[in-house]
Structure 1
Amino acid sequence: MPKQVDPHSRRTLLADALLRVAASRGLMDVSLRHVAAEAGVTAGMVQHYFRTKDEMMVFALDVVAARVQARLEEGPAPDGPRARVRALLVQLLPVDADRELEGRVAIAFHAYAATRPAVAARLREDARRMREAIAAEVAAAGAPGALDPQRAATGLVSLVEGLAIHVLGGHVDADHALATLEGHLDLAFALPRL
């Protein structure tokens, strides 16, 4: 009887290998051969699960999104809009080994997407959904003098992406990045408009 293989598990194994290769070599150097070697499988097996490199890249984005979601669902649910936004944005900061790997890959994905329309479209859609979710939380808080929800969401996402680059580059440490995020959350949720 042939061995039963879970295709999603196998694709996730390959996506994990892709993330490790991308974090160490950059996405431009990711190849089926490199992913296969990192996963300990044949290049033919990688091709069996992913027809193109872009298909493999988009699936890797799904894996990262699933990891972020799983971390968000661990432990008690954040209480209130500000806490929910903070919980989400902290997942994007490289404050531990897993998020550092994801942060390095995120930077590589943005560079790769500059010449790959399918990947760029996926990144734009993910960013739009995140901004909408954050804007909804800012609006739900209804704090007097809070920033415009759409602008607050754009600012917070941009801030965290920039902080992630600075943490990864060694310009600031994770504690500094977290404190900076806290200050900007205060601005987005409560302080009067300028």
Structure 2
Amino acid sequence: MPKLVDHQARRLLIADAVHRIIDAKGLDSVSLREVAAEAGISMGAVQHYFATKEEMLAVALQQLNARISVRVAATGESDPLRLVRAAMLEMLPLDETRRFEARIGLAFLARAAVADDLAELFRTGVPHVLGFFAGQLRAAQAAGRVAADLDPDEEAKVLFGVAQGVGQAALLGYYPPEAAAAAVDHHLARLTR
């Protein structure tokens, strides 16, 4: 009887191997051979799921973003401002899991600056984050928790910028985790004044 393979699980296994290689050796070290060895599967199996290295990197980046989204959703938070806070904190390197993801994300961002295919993934992904933040701010406005004259779309850009800037500084050790979280809280507190 043929062996049943969970194709989605296999793609995630490969994406996780890509993440570990990027974290340990850098994005330039990602190759079919390295990924196969790290995932514990054959090169042919990797090629079965990904025709090119670029496709494999794209899925690995999408999986990295999905991990963060799943954790935000798992908070079960319904208050819009607490949900924004939870999302921003998930973007920050506050523990080893998030530091691991932040290092990988920064490697992808650096590559995207010179590789248009990865840059396109960022260009299409960022609007989803901005839309999420803006939607939560609109909900907070409707509940009377945020000033009615605040522009949710513009503020969403600022929230994203705060998370990115604080996250990069924290990753480099400039902000300890408590200070990074406090910076997010400080910014969010000014929205409710």
Instruction: Give 1:70 deviation, angstroms.
Output: 2.2
Query: Which letter does structure 2 place at the counterpart of 1:110?
Result: L
Give structure 1 stretches of 5+ with no counterpart. none
What is the match of residue 129 of structure 2?
Answer: 130
Worse-matched range after superposition: 63-72 or 154-163: 63-72
Of 157, 171, 183, which residue of structure 1 is paired with 2:186?
Answer: 183
Give structure 2 stretches of 5+ with no counterpart. none
CA–CA distance in 1 between the matches of 2:164 and 2:32? Answer: 29
Worse-matched range after superposition: 114-123 or 83-92: 114-123
Query: Which letter does structure 1 place at the counterpart of 2:102?
Result: G
Map 1:36-115 to 2 at 5 A: 36-75=36-75, 77-115=76-114
The Cα offsets for residues 35-80 of structure 1, whole Å up to 9 and x where unpaired, read as 11211222222111111111111111222232122212324x2232
The Cα offsets for residues 145-180 of structure 1, whole Å up to 9 and x where unpaired, read as 664212211111111111111121111111100000
SS at match of 1:79: coil
The Cα offsets for residues 98-157 of structure 1, whole Å up to 9 and x where unpaired, read as 211110111011111122222211111111111111012212222226642122111111
Q: How many corresponding residue pairs?
A: 189
What is the RMSD computed on CA atoms of the aligned residues? 1.6
Instruction: Give 1:94 deviation, angstroms.
Output: 1.1
Query: Which letter does structure 2 place at the counterpart of 1:57?
Result: L
Of 145, 157, 170, which residue of structure 2 is paired with 1:167?
Answer: 170
Kindly, what percent of the aligned residue pairs are identical?
A: 38
The answer to whether residue 190 in structure 2 is matched with residue 149 in structure 1 is no
Query: Which letter does structure 1 place at the counterpart of 2:128?
Result: R
